[in-house]
Structure 1
Amino acid sequence: KDIAQAAEMPSSKAHRYLVSLIRSGLVEQDRLTSRYDLGPFALNLGLVALDRVDRIRLGLAAISELRDLTNETAALAVWNERGPVVVRWERPRRPITVNVLTGTSLSLLSSAAGRVFAAWLPEQQTEALLRAEIDSGRAPEGIASMADARRLLAEVRREGVAVMSQGYFARGVEAAAAPVFNFKNEITMSIAVVGVEGTLDLGPGSPALAALKAACSTLSARLGATVTPPGEAGGGVADAGAEDGGA
């Protein structure tokens, strides 16, 4: 009855349409509530469409737009078996910039994008790399154990973004990164904004951080994610620098 009213058609006609849609698998009816929902065929169509989304192509467009909005270097990172790696970066239109090398492998603890991946990936996927950084003495000052790393990564999750503004990995470089999620609500990429220390404002509520979070939230939605953007209502990107590209 409600469907017929919303469609502005007689109930008998709406019923015939629903029967046809149910037979085709586009709609199904809950036996307990009698309410209608998407059927298995409709859900499969949606999953096929999501599977065909080119995440890298969309990611490249996102960092290009972010670069234009912030006039800072923007980079895109993905995860492989060795950890985060920069797949592309966009140079801003300013005389002094931070260059990020495509193909650069990023530290999990000494790069903004690395912290983002470490914060949202399952620990069993990152623990070996984290321990290797800590045991080798390559972790930032103040991180001497897995407990220290877990506290840091918990803070990244709370804030929804990783900010590197104390030159841990590259002197004179600042970076912030945020996560991009897919339709499974799993982290799939990270976007970072990178700049020269003293010229890039990465303080809470800064335009650069707002633009970064918005870019990642928009891209996540385009990839089918339904999670609340990290750092919003209780609800990360790539970085590169001297050694790690700076991000």
Structure 2
Amino acid sequence: MIQSVDRAVRILTALQGARRMGLGELAAQLELAPSTVHGIVRTLLDHGMIAQERDSGRYRLGPATLRLGNVYLDTLELRSRSVPWAEDLAARTGMAVRTAVLLAGPGGDVIVVAHEPRPGGGRQMNEVGIVVPAHACALGKALLAFDPAGEPAFDTAGEPLRSMTGETITDPARLRTELAAIRRVGLATEAEEAVLGEYGLAAPVADHSGTIAGAIGLVVPQTEWPVGPGATDALRAAARSISRELGAPSWPPVVRDRPAASA
């Protein structure tokens, strides 16, 4: 790992979470000397990755991060392949549809890369870019169940996972039991585990290598939970069709052996 790059990424991640931070706050969070952080901050400022507010002197993410995000979305084949199927799935079920991928690194989060609003639902927020703890949502559980590389994020040495609501699964052992059940049926569920009043159903999407590429899921209103077989079948068909377009040899994805830790 290149130390300076790691520190720069940690600064960007800190600003993502806190929105605005002063130099001293950044230094304290990264456990580094302010002079060290200042040098990296100046470089990020020069490249537009962060910006400094004139009145407070605090730092926030800069416009260049949006440009990188847009390029990522434009070049993500999962997103482009899922859009027409998500539109059809929303029309068939009357529900909003999200497509997500697992974020690399610590934390065990997923990020929404495509969002199809529920039909006739009036004005709705675009949810692209929303980050949710993987263990607290159906999309994340579908990803974790079929991606062994994501499971180490939950090796918490007995510590409970982050709680979002009173229904969030915070016991790693209980989560692993649920992931095993998801692998058997190919579908994951959530019931008010990330947001009160929100339920979800999600299915994994495979790519040409036969492994996990992402997940697609329904956002289910409380009044329509549990979903009927029509919505379940439509979700399975969408996930299978997107996987086929990505070149997957089979669906659900094949679960590879968890990579061994390096010595």
CA distance in structure 2 between the partners assigned to 1:193 and 1:69 by the alignment? 11
- Which of 111, 116, 128 in structure 2 is aligned with 1:90? 116
**Is 1:208 the equivalent of 2:231?**
yes
**Equivalent position of 1:11 in the other structure:** none
CA distance in structure 2 between the partners assigned to 1:197 and 1:89 by the alignment? 19
CA distance in structure 1 between the partners assigned to 2:76 and 2:122 by the alignment? 35
Same amino acid, percent of matched pairs: 25
Change (3 A) 1:133 1:89: farther
**Equivalent position of 1:55 in the other structure:** 78
**Equivalent position of 1:108 in the other structure:** 134
Is this contact kept in 2: 1:58–1:219, CA < 8 A? Answer: yes
Give the Å deviation of 1:80. Answer: 2.6
CA distance in structure 1 between the partners assigned to 2:96 and 2:157 by the alignment? 29
- Match runs of 1:35-46 below 5 Å: none
CA distance in structure 2 between the partners assigned to 1:99 and 1:217 by the alignment? 27
SS in 1 for 2:224: coil
CA distance in structure 2 between the partners assigned to 1:225 and 1:157 by the alignment? 17
Give the Å deviation of 1:66. Answer: 1.1
**Equivalent position of 1:79 in the other structure:** 102
Give the Å deviation of 1:178. Answer: 0.4
SS in 1 for 2:199: strand
Is this contact kept in 1: 2:96–2:116, CA < 8 A? Answer: yes
SS in 2 for 1:158: helix
Is this contact kept in 2: 1:69–1:211, CA < 8 A? Answer: yes
Is this contact kept in 1: 2:167–2:192, CA < 8 A? Answer: no
Is this contact kept in 2: 1:108–1:130, CA < 8 A? Answer: no
SS in 2 for 1:81: coil
Deviation track 1:33-78 (CA, whole Å, cap 9, x = no partner) reads: xxxxxxxxxxxxxxxxxxx993321112221121111111011112
**Is 1:163 the equivalent of 2:186?**
no
- Which of 181, 199, 206 in structure 1 is aligned with 2:224? 199
CA distance in structure 2 between the partners assigned to 1:99 and 1:177 by the alignment? 20
Give the Å deviation of 1:102. Answer: 1.4
Q: Which amino acid counterpart does residue 170 of structure 1 have in structure 2?
A: V
Is this contact kept in 2: 1:116–1:156, CA < 8 A? Answer: yes
TM-score of the aligned structures, taking structure 2 as reference length:
0.58
Give the length in aligned residue pairs.
175
Deviation track 1:92-111 (CA, whole Å, cap 9, x = no partner) reads: 22347975621111212110
SS in 2 for 1:188: strand
CA distance in structure 1 between the partners assigned to 2:158 and 2:200 by the alignment? 20
**Equivalent position of 2:178 in the other structure:** 152
Give the Å deviation of 1:172. Answer: 1.5
CA distance in structure 2 between the partners assigned to 1:142 and 1:58 by the alignment? 31
Change (3 A) 1:199 1:90: same
**Equivalent position of 1:138 in the other structure:** 163
Residue segments in structure 1 that go unaligned for 5+ positions in a row: 1-51, 231-247
Change (3 A) 1:146 1:93: closer
Flag the structure with more relative contact order, 1 or 2, with Cα contacts below 8 A and sequence separation at least 6. Answer: 1
Is this contact kept in 1: 2:154–2:161, CA < 8 A? Answer: no
SS in 1 for 2:114: strand
**Is 1:174 the equivalent of 2:196?**
no
User: Between Structure 1 and Structure 2, whose CA radius of gyration is higher?
Assistant: 1
Deviation track 1:199-227 (CA, whole Å, cap 9, x = no partner) reads: 25425xx2111100100001111111112
- Which of 187, 198, 208 in structure 2 is aligned with 1:183? 208
- Match runs of 1:19-30 below 5 Å: none
TM-score of the aligned structures, taking structure 1 as reference length:
0.62
